Amino acid sequence: MVNTRVSATTSTITNDKKRLHFNEKLVGKGLTTDALLKRLKTLHTELARFDQEEVDVKSLSSIRKELISSSLVLHRDKGVKAYAACCLADILGLYAPDAPYTQEELKDIFQFFFTQLAKGLVRNDAYYEQYFYLLDSLAKCKSVVLVCDLPNADELLVQVFDDFFTIVKQNVVKNIEMAMSDILCALIDECQSIPTDVLDTVMAQFTEKNAGMEQAGYRLALEVCTSRADRLQRYVCQYFTDIIIQTSSEEELDDLRKAHDLIRQLNRAAPGLLINVVPQLEEQLRVDTLTLRIMATQTLGGMFGDKNGASLAQRHTSTWSAWTNRRNDKAHTVRIALLELVPDVLMAQPELRRDLAETLDLKLEDPDDRVRVAVCKAYAKLDYESLLHTVEVGHLHRLAERVKDKKPNVRTEALATLGKLYKVAFSEIEKNSNAALQHFAWIPERLLEAMRLSADVKQDVETAMAEIILPLPPKGEDEVAWTERLLLVMHCFENEESVGLLLSLAGLKQPRPSPTPFVRFMDYSKAYNGGTINEDEQQVKRNLALCVQKLAAMYFSDRARATEDLNKFGKAENENYMYQVARRIVDPSVDLKTLAKSLAEFSRRIEQSLGPETVETLLRLARTAALWVVNGSSVPTLLSKFKVHVKVSKNAPRMSMSDATALDGQKHAKVLFQALCKRCPEALKVHLPEFSVALMDEKNVELAELALQGIAAIAVLDSKLAPKEKLVLDRIIKYATGKNPRHVKFAARILARLPKPDKCEQVLKTMSTKLSNANPETVLAHITAFAQFAKYAPETFEAQSDSIINFVIPNVLMESCPSSSDEMEVDSEDDWAEDSALPELARAKLTALKMCRNRCLAQQGTKTAEDVTGPALKLIFTILEHNGSVQENADDSGKVRTRMRFQAAICLLQLAQVPSYAQQIVKQFTLLALTIQDPCYNVRMGFLQKYTALSMKLETRFYCIPFLTAQDPERETREYARNFVTIQYQRMPPEQRHAKLEMVFVRYLHLLAHHRTSRRASLKPSKICVDMSNSTSTRSAAKKI
């Protein structure tokens, strides 16, 4: 008799025990199948009613022997075998804890059981109930554990596990799953060792495709593994150890990869199994084989990123430390593998954020650019909450430093990542969340600052700004939200220079060329017509080739690719509709909806005809000509900012937050509106009626100013569009004769552009007549008007010019403007003050210089040009010679002298654009050029910025000027000059580069020889050149050239 593992107390047999009443034969000749089946049913019914404690097992002796006869277990009838199996299960249950069979007999019995279960546990089977009874009996009585004592136990264990996992996948009911789980768990508990094949069967459930709780095999394996984790740990560890030890070839590496995938699955499902596996993975982190280190890094990263990752790291501290230290692995691929997993772990386990945030921060300085790229990508994967609560602001600022990286792939990725971070946080920034503002609001400004670094960085910045920071609405419908987003970005600027960079990006910083390079390219492409050229074939080809060459140098860092893409488009047989769409994109008067639709259509058609790789190049080129940052659709939103009353009290200690925000919104709205007026007045034409209405609101000074400026811009664009209504004209005349210089400026400009000069003549004559008796405030306003008349109505101005000039020179320009008595600081030549801080006389002086400049520019090419320009140039150079004053010993304050030097230098630069005037200016070129070394930073930087804006229209010798900043004390000035020279050098064709940036060195030496600090009075010219060639500044500048 074989003893079972079920604990039960065998009571003494007494006469109270129940005996089996069944006394029919189950084996014998002449017994039909139906009769046998009937007897088996009867026997099973009686056996099933017995309890183990109440049955007299001696009465079962004859039956138990017949039930294992081959005539029953090998009977061809399925029902006979099903009931025989149930009866055998009853016998085993009633004899427990003893089994009334030999080991060989038990082996046959269990093989018989498992075979029947494998065939019959299907719902539509006729004997389904009997098979379920058999399974349930084995689960409850635990008689199945007898298998573990049999000589061939391993074979039977493998069979039962294979059979059960096969059966359970046939959509069995939950009760069967539970019974199978009980049986398998009992076998695991009682077996001496678990066969490898059994473990293979269980592990296979976790690696099947789409393994999950919806699959019965997965559920069964999960239940077994979680409930018997302590028992299985050692075998699972050995299972993976065997795979690792056997790994030596590339084929076996595939097996190892599968094993690591399985470990990740087990960690998610039954982490208790891996207690002894984790140290093995830790050891793999230190092996010499690169592939093993990578796999171990990836596997542990996946485990730490799972829901129980934090407890895993706490339980295995050495493993966690070893994993995070892979950031210093000698192989960059391992470091990258770690960084790719850090975001998932960081987002899933905030408790581990300190080590992970430190890892990301440290690897920003990794010596391998591929690792630095991986860090940028890792930051981009983080969600808002993780970025806000686990990544310090300082870390993000160091990420932003990567936009200055030497490697272009790192710069590109850093810029894209910063844009994504801003996009993630924008909704919170929009809600004015202090945390979001502090953490992310600075990003657009940092991107814009990066534009100065190089042409390729500027290209990446533009892409990030256009696609992430300031994207066009998909359908272009929400014009207000689009403009408000732009104002919100500007609201977070800390430096005024950032506004200029944004305007530069928007194409509103410099005068817009007409036609734009994009339009010119489209025209040349259309003329090429896919190679079918109607006339002057060689000229058409030459035009296209030269245009492509210039555009590739001007706008793209990868010139070869840009040239290829532009040629692909230019030489393609494009449909006319494509050119129509392109024209709509660059139309200054286009509204937001049309612009967004046209850009999308343009991209789609290019992708269809030329491929997706060409879209980026053509889209960038289109953006250089399109108003994608701000356009005419923004105007109503910009003006609406001035329809809200903002309380500004000089006595109040501080302004309310809402008023401060509104005031800041007005400030930036004004900047954007003025940029449109100055650079793209075509965008305003549709809003002319709105401006006329706003003009009537005398109380709203700011709104009236913008309305006047808008009307003036339109009138300058086309005098036919100037106002004609008497009411509007009367109001404009009132503004022109008022005392607000800004109102006067634009009102006078409008009057000067009226088709008929009568109103302009009338106002000008009245002003010039009353000039001598006017107070300083009125004088400033009148000179402001004169400056506009001189520029836009020169003939009208010249009629009164003598009386005006005769008043302005002695009573304004030569009049002293000393420091006020309440100014306590020491007056010096490096002082600077904005217009609002200057007295009326000082502002009148500056405006008078502008008037002289405008007069000269208006007279160019006329017979009187020399008579007008000669005295003006002499006056302006005198101001430079006398350090900012017309008279040598004038008692002007330092602030006034500084502003006058600056304005005089700017006027000379502007006049130097006229070739005939330039001939006179270059005679005293040194005096003008050395403005770049003025004691005042604002003068130096402002002069440099104006020079860079006008450089293309100035003589070659003017290219000496930026090199004079080589020893500037301020880094910003040096950087600005260097970036300008670098970009110009990249864009210029070789012949221009040679003439303007290489041959200019000779002029640079001459300029240094005549520097105001040189000892030229006592040295011969040859000696001066030797000294200059040996000087530090000269060598430094030469190196930069």
Q: What is the mean pLDDT of residues 731-752?
A: 96
Q: What is the pLDDT of residue 667?
A: 92
What is the chain's mean pLDDT, rounded? 87
- Both tokens of 503, joined, read 């305007």
Higher pLDDT, 422 or 15: 422
Residues paired with 2 in a beta bridge:
99
Cβ-Cβ contacts under 8 Å for 984 (sequence gap 6 or more): 951, 996, 997
Least confident residue range of 40-49, 380-389, 769-778, 990-999: 990-999
pLDDT band at 1030 (very low <50, low <70, confident <90, very high): very low
Least confident residue range of 229-243, 527-541, 694-708: 527-541
- Both tokens of 524, joined, read 């040349």
Q: What is the mean pLDDT of residues 385-408?
A: 93
Please tell me the distance from the alpha carbon of residue 939 to that of residue 333, in angstroms, as a whole number.
Answer: 51
Give the three-state DSSP class for 469: helix
- Both tokens of 845, joined, read 């002086």
Whether residue 581 has pLDDT greater than 80: yes
* Length reported for the chain: 1041
- Phi, psi values for residue 351, rounded to 5°: -65, -25
Please tell me the distance from the alpha carbon of residue 635 to that of residue 633, in angstroms, as a whole number.
Answer: 6
Q: Which helix (H) or strand (E) holds 2?
A: strand 2-3
Q: Which amino acid is at 384?
A: Y
- β-strands 2-3, 98-99: how paired? antiparallel
Cβ-Cβ contacts under 8 Å for 67 (sequence gap 6 or more): 26, 84, 87, 88, 91
DSSP 503-520: HHHTT-SSPPPSS-HHHH
Nearest to 344 by CA among 318, 373, 319, 307: 307
pLDDT single digits (tens) 899-937: 999 999 999 999 999 999 999 999 999 999 999 999 999
Separation in Å, CA 791 to CA 455, 885, 938: 36, 25, 27
Residue reference for tokens 């009187």: 864
Residues paired with 99 in a beta bridge:
2
Give the rounded distance of the alpha carbon of 646 from its chain centre. Answer: 35
Nearest to 52 by CA among 4, 110, 84, 85: 4
Q: Taking the CB of residue 397, how many other CB atoms lie within 10 A of it? A: 12
Cβ-Cβ contacts under 8 Å for 394 (sequence gap 6 or more): none
Q: What is the pLDDT of residue 1036?
A: 44
pLDDT single digits (tens) 253-290: 888 888 899 999 999 889 999 999 999 999 999 999 89
Q: What is the pLDDT of residue 741?
A: 96
Whether residue 722 has pLDDT greater than 50: yes
Count CA within 13 A, CB hemisphere, residue 1037: 28
pLDDT band at 251 (very low <50, low <70, confident <90, very high): low
Residues paired with 113 in a beta bridge:
none
* Contact of 59 with 91, CB cutoff 8 Å: no
pLDDT band at 656 (very low <50, low <70, confident <90, very high): low
Nearest to 200 by CA among 162, 150, 156, 241: 162
The sign of the dihedral angle between the CA atoms of 661, 663, 669, 675 is negative
Q: What is the mean pLDDT of residues 243-250?
A: 69
Whether residue 15 has pLDDT greater than 60: no
**Where does residue 174 rank: exposed (0-12), middle (13-18), buried (19+ CB within 10 A)?**
exposed
Whether residue 1008 has pLDDT greater than 80: no
Least confident residue range of 714-728, 789-803, 931-945, 1026-1040: 1026-1040
Please tell me the distance from the alpha carbon of residue 999 to that of residue 749, in angstroms, as a whole number.
Answer: 43
Least confident residue range of 36-50, 246-260, 263-277, 293-307: 246-260
Q: What is the pLDDT of residue 314?
A: 93
* Contact of 385 with 428, CB cutoff 8 Å: no
pLDDT single digits (tens) 168-221: 888 788 899 999 999 999 999 989 899 999 999 999 998 877 778 888 899 999
pLDDT band at 562 (very low <50, low <70, confident <90, very high): very high
Least confident residue range of 457-461, 462-466, 633-637, 854-858: 457-461
Q: Which amino acid is at 862?
A: T
- Both tokens of 154, joined, read 């391993």
pLDDT band at 665 (very low <50, low <70, confident <90, very high): confident
Q: What is the pLDDT of residue 1038?
A: 38
Whether residue 785 has pLDDT greater than 90: yes
Cis peptide before 515 (omega within 30 of 0): yes
Least confident residue range of 153-162, 294-303, 644-653: 644-653
Please tell me the distance from the alpha carbon of residue 786 to that of residue 779, in angstroms, as a whole number.
Answer: 10
Cβ-Cβ contacts under 8 Å for 759 (sequence gap 6 or more): 729, 733, 751
**DSSP conformation class of 18:** B
Please tell me the distance from the alpha carbon of residue 1031 to that of residue 736, in angstroms, as a whole number.
Answer: 55
- Both tokens of 219, joined, read 């559920």
Q: What is the pLDDT of residue 984?
A: 83
- Both tokens of 301, joined, read 């990263």
pLDDT single digits (tens) 667-699: 999 999 999 999 999 999 999 999 999 998 888
Q: What is the pLDDT of residue 497?
A: 87
Please tell me the distance from the alpha carbon of residue 68 to that of residue 236, in angstroms, as a whole number.
Answer: 38
Whether residue 78 has pLDDT greater than 70: yes
- Both tokens of 61, joined, read 């002796």
Count CA within 13 A, CB hemisphere, residue 824: 0
Q: What is the pLDDT of residue 1?
A: 47
Separation in Å, CA 872 to CA 364, 650, 908: 57, 41, 10
Q: Which amino acid is at 1011?
A: H
* Contact of 101 with 68, CB cutoff 8 Å: yes
Q: Which amino acid is at 608?
A: Q
CATH classification code of 1-151: 1.25.10
Residue reference for tokens 């149930």: 86
Q: What is the pLDDT of residue 668?
A: 94
Q: Taking the CB of residue 113, how many other CB atoms lie within 10 A of it? A: 27
Q: What is the pLDDT of residue 568?
A: 92
**Where does residue 863 rank: exposed (0-12), middle (13-18), buried (19+ CB within 10 A)?**
exposed
Please tell me the distance from the alpha carbon of residue 1026 to that of residue 1041, in angstroms, as a whole number.
Answer: 19
DSSP 997-1018: IITHHHHHHHHHHT-TTS-TTT
Cβ-Cβ contacts under 8 Å for 958 (sequence gap 6 or more): 912, 929, 947, 951
Share of the chain above pLDDT 90, in %: 58
Please tell me the distance from the alpha carbon of residue 523 to that of residue 566, in angstroms, as a whole number.
Answer: 13
Q: Taking the CB of residue 209, how many other CB atoms lie within 10 A of it? A: 5
Q: What is the mean pLDDT of residues 846-850?
A: 97
Cis peptide before 755 (omega within 30 of 0): no
pLDDT band at 646 (very low <50, low <70, confident <90, very high): low
pLDDT single digits (tens) 484-526: 999 999 999 999 889 999 999 999 988 888 888 999 999 999 9
What HEC string does 433-446 produce?
CHHHHHHHCCHHHH
